[in-house]
Amino acid sequence: MQVSMTVNGQQRTDEVEPRMLLAHHLRDNLGLTATNIGCDSTSCGACTVIVDGLTVKSCTVLALQAEGSEVTTLEGLSTDGELHPVQAAFRSEHGLQCGFCTSGMVMAAVGVLADNPNPTDREVREGLEGNLCRCTGYHNIVQAVLKAAESGPAAGQVPSSKQEVSA
């Protein structure tokens, strides 16, 4: 079947199997491999992307369900070579090690900050509960999100989206 969506600001139309997951569509058909798949039970959040302003786990959405949607992945977060505030904070605070959870964690963090621009340590932790990391112990991820919050509203926005972002 044919599916059309806007991915990182670009219109994409492809043939997909009806059962194809959005995560596989992004990775295998569109070559956007920053989005990772770490589990098969919607538990780890490595595949988190933003669809029409909402953070979603792309392993739990069919590509066809994103028909007509606006999708932002990690690759679409920075603009003109400048890191998004959340990306920049993950770097400065050493919020990533092996990097596998990072794409989903960054996208989820954008959603957390969209809903709560000035979160506490505990609120960040609650907000990221659906995203697992085995390397960092979450300490520096939390620090990175708190740091990104200092950048103001931009930390909770995505460049290509017309919609308001929410977790």
Partner 1 sequence: MSILGTRVVRTEDPLFLTRGAVYTDDLTDERLTGALHATFVRSTVAHGTVTEVDASAAREAPGVVAVYTAEDLGDLQPVPPPLPFLDAGFSRPWLVPVGGRVHFVGDLVAVVLTEERYQGEDAAEAVVVDVDPLPAVVGTAAAATDETVLFPEVGTNKVAAFGEPAPDDFFADCEVVVTRAIANQRVAAAPLETRAASAAWGEDGRVTIWCTNQGAQQAKGQIAGWLGLDAEKVHLITPDVGGGFGAKIGADQEYAFVAWLAQQAGRPVRWTESRSENMTGMLQGRAQDQVITIGGDRDGTVKAYSLVVQQDCGAYPRIGTVLPTLTMLMAAAVYDIPKVHAQATCYATNGTSIGAYRGAGRPEATAAAERAMDLFAAEIGMDPADVRRKNFIPAFTEPFTTASGATYDSGDYTAALDRVLEAAGYADLRAEQARRRERGDARQLGIGISAYVEITGADSGHGTSENAELEVHPDGTATVLTGTSPHGQGHATTWAMLASEQLGIPVEKITVLHGDTDRIPDGGGTMGSRSLQQGGAAVHQAAVELVEVARKRAAELLEANPDDLEVDLANAGLSVKGTPGTGITWAQLAADEQLIVQTTFTANAPTFPFGAHVAVVETDVESGKAVVTRLVTVDDAGTIINPLLAEGQRHGGIAQGVGQALLEEILYDEDGNPQTSTFADYPFVSATELPSFELVEMATPTPMNPLGAKGIGEAGTIGSTPAVQSAVVDSVAHLGVRHVDMPATSMRVWKAIREAQKGSTN
Binding site for partner 1 (CB under 8 A): 17, 19-20, 24, 27-28, 31, 33-36, 38-44, 46, 74-75, 77-78, 83, 87, 90-92, 94, 96-103, 106, 121, 124-126, 128-129, 131-143
Q: Report how far Cα 89 is from the mean position of its chain's Cα atoms.
A: 15
Q: Tell me how far apart the alpha carbons of residues 100 and 105 are, in angstroms, rounded to a whole number.
A: 9
Give the chain's count of helices (H) and strands (E): 5, 5
Q: What is the smallest separation between the CB atom of 121 and partner 1, expressed in angstroms?
A: 6
Of 126 and 150, nearer to partner 1 (C-beta) is 126
CB-nearer residue toward partner 1: 4 or 39: 39
Least separation in angstroms between residue 128's CB and partner 1 is 5
Contact 141, 105 (CB under 8 A): yes
Q: Which amino acid is at 40?
A: D
Q: CA 59, CA 40: separation in Å to the nearest integer?
A: 8
| Shortest Å distance, C-beta 138 to partner 1 | 4
Q: Which is nearer to partner 1, 43 or 164 (CB)?
A: 43
Q: For residues 143 and 161, which CB has a smaller minimum distance to partner 1 in the complex?
A: 143
Question: d(Cα 145, Cα 125) in Å, to the nearest integer?
Answer: 10
